[in-house]
Amino acid sequence: MQHTAPQTLETRNPGTALNLDRVMRAAANRSAIERRAASLPGRRSVKKAHQAAWLARAVSCIDLTTLAGDDTAGRVARLCGKARQPVRADLLEAIGLPDLTVGAVCVYHDMVAPAASALRGSGIPVAAVSTGFPAGLSPFHLRVAEIGESVAAGASEIDIVISRRHVLTGDWQALYDEMRAFRAACGEAHVKAILATGELGTLRNVARASLVCMMAGADFIKTSTGKEGVNATLPVSLVMMRAIRDYHDWTGIRVGYKPAGGISKAKDALTYLALVKEELGDRWLRPDLFRFGASSLLGDIERQIEHHVTGAYSASWRHALA
Q: Are 150 and 128 in contact (CB under 8 A)?
A: yes
pLDDT at position 1 is 45
Which one from 63, 192, 219, 222 is the annotated catalytic residue?
222
**DSSP-assigned beta bridge partners for residue 106:** 65, 127
Which one from 63, 82, 159, 219 is the annotated catalytic residue?
159
pLDDT at position 8 is 47
Q: Is 282 a catalytic residue?
A: no
pLDDT at position 320 is 65
pLDDT at position 317 is 67
pLDDT at position 43 is 67
Q: Are 245 and 56 in contact (CB under 8 A)?
A: no
- CB count within 10 Å of CB 152 equals 11
Contacts 24+ apart (CB under 8 A), 44-51: 44/270, 44/271, 44/274, 46/270, 48/308, 49/95, 49/308, 50/1, 51/270, 51/304, 51/308
Q: Is 63 a catalytic residue?
A: no
Secondary structure of residue 290 in the 3-state scheme? strand
Q: Is 47 a catalytic residue?
A: no
Residue 318 DSSP code:
G
Largest Cα–Cα distance in the chain?
56
Residue 137 Cα to chain centre, angstroms: 22
Which one from 63, 192, 219, 258 is the annotated catalytic residue?
258
- Locate the domains of the chain by residue range: 20-309
Q: Which residues of the chain have pLDDT under 70?
A: 1-10, 43-45, 316-322
pLDDT at position 192 is 98
Q: Does domain 20-309 fall into CATH 3.20.20.70?
A: yes
